[in-house]
Amino acid sequence: MLVYFGSLLATIALINTPVPKIVVSAVLNPEAGDAVARSLGSITKDLVLVLLISIYFEWVRTKEQGELLRDIDRKLDVMRDDTRPAPAVRKLVLDATSADELITTALNRHIPRTADKSTFVSLLLSTRPAHHDVSMTLRVDKVADGRVYHSSRYELTMPRGPLLVAVTSSPTHTTALSDACPELFDVATLTTATSFDEAVKAFGEKLECYVEPRSGVTKRVEFRRVATNSVRKYISPPVGMTASDLVLFLADLSREDDEFVRVRHHLRWSQDIAEHFSWWYADRPMFVRTLTMDMRELVRNQGLKVFVQVFLGSVENLMLDAEDGYLSLRLDRWVVQGQGAVVVW
């Protein structure tokens, strides 16, 4: 279009100069040059008219194109406005939906033919807080007088706060208390030939807890026995169980500087060798780094055949070491409630 207008303007300028008259006069004669000059004067008016008409139509076309482009731009803005809130709306919906509903919806897509998803959901969304970066070691320290003496070392990362361990004299009470009080770190049953009070005293003396700060030296945190009349300050025992049916121990981690603390918990106990088995299982969702079952003392001391069976899915490619009475696994994965390992001799 610029070439067109440029050529038209150049033509108008050229015919309004003496150049055409001079050229024709030189080629033909002066009379022919004068005649050409007169005729080009009328042509100039026609060319100017063509120029004006062309300018008008170009202006109209440009205006329509501009309006079209502006309309397209407006529509693009509307489309951007319509799509921009989508992530925010989606996040709002997700935030407003409970975790069990989200998991149930996902399970409905994954296993649509099963109507009841509640059992599966309860394994993932336990009322007990999840434990992170767990390393668990269960070991037989010695065998003497027909009893097997165990020790466990349980390392984890958890929010700072009270670490609560309870004991009862009845497996029934232990199960009920564990289900009713998710804030408990552990619940144990003390069934020995001695009195319950003596067993509780011995149990408390064997409890050990250490905190490993990010910077600094590992320090021991002492457990203290919670007075009977203060138990309900920390837990709410289930109906039918009184404060005298249990004993609560407390290690206070609420004064730590970091929001999450690295804890190492030790426990020691014994059992009759005639029971022939021992076990560990996860009582809540936890991310397990390593799991070690060391029962070699039963092999060395008693000459027993020991079998270690894990219930964690496929672990063949996760074994760090395995021999009679010994198994070490590096899991680096989530374990749900009920998964674990059992030792049989």
pLDDT of residue 170: 87
Residue of higher predicted confidence among 256 and 334: 334
* pLDDT band of 168, cuts 50, 70, 90: very high
Helix or strand (DSSP H, E) at 310? strand 307-311
The pTM of the whole model exceeds 0.85: no
Which of 51-55, 74-78, 247-251 has maximum average pLDDT? 247-251
Dist. CA 145–CA 102, nearest whole Å: 54
Dist. CA 264–CA 207, nearest whole Å: 11
* pLDDT band of 257, cuts 50, 70, 90: confident
Q: Is 60 exceeded by the pLDDT of residue 2?
A: no
Q: Is 80 exceeded by the pLDDT of residue 72?
A: no
Tokens of 132: 């992170």
Q: Is 80 exceeded by the pLDDT of residue 82?
A: no
Using DSSP, state whether 98 is helix, strand or coil. coil
Average confidence score pLDDT of the chain: 80
pLDDT tens digits for range 138-163: 999 999 988 999 999 999 999 889 99
Question: Beta strands 260-272 and 208-211: pairing type?
Answer: antiparallel
Helix or strand (DSSP H, E) at 279? strand 277-281
Q: What burial class does residue 196 get, using C-beta atoms within 10 Å of its C-beta: 0-12 exposed, 13-18 middle, 19+ buried?
A: middle
* pLDDT band of 50, cuts 50, 70, 90: low
Q: Give the ranges where the chain is alpha helix by DSSP (H).
A: 2-15, 19-27, 30-83, 86-96, 99-110, 118-124, 171-180, 196-206, 296-302
Q: What is the secondary structure of 149-165 as a DSSP string? A: EEEEEEEEEEESSEEEE
Q: How many residues belong to the chain?
A: 345
Closest CA to 159 of 36, 264, 254: 254
Report which residue type is found at 316.
Answer: E
Count Cα neighbours of 313 within 13 Å in the Cβ-side half-sphere.
7
pLDDT of residue 246: 92
